[in-house]
Amino acid sequence: MNKLLSYLVKEILGHENFEVEENISENGFVNLKITTAPENIGLIIGKKGKTIKAVRSLLRVKATLEKVGFSLDIVEKQ
């Protein structure tokens, strides 16, 4: 899921000024975290959240195929 999310965010932003972290818990739940600059957060979320909803939908398909749950967080780089 990390590769898919990295690819999607790279294509949305047009550059690689972000980090994607993936933590897998013992029950198979995947926590994904995007860390990026404050000016990029709006691009990832999109108008009325349409872009992030599309990203979550694609991740949901991947999670269903892998039979895991996931959560996605966007964090501002300090």
Task: Sketch out the chain's domains with CATH numbers.
Answer: 2-76 (3.30.300.20)
- Closest C-alpha among 43, 66, 68, 24 to residue 33: 24
**Are the C-beta atoms of 37 and 77 separated by less than 8 Å?**
yes
- The model's pLDDT over 24-46, given as tens digits with 9 standing for 90+, comes to 988 889 999 999 999 999 999 99
Residue 49 is classified by DSSP as G
| Average pLDDT along the chain, 78 residues, taken 10 residues at a time | 95 93 91 95 95 97 95 93
Q: What is the pTM (predicted TM-score) of this model?
A: 0.90
3-state secondary structure (DSSP) of residue 1: coil
Q: How many residues does the chain have?
A: 78
User: Residue 70: beta bridge partners?
Assistant: 30
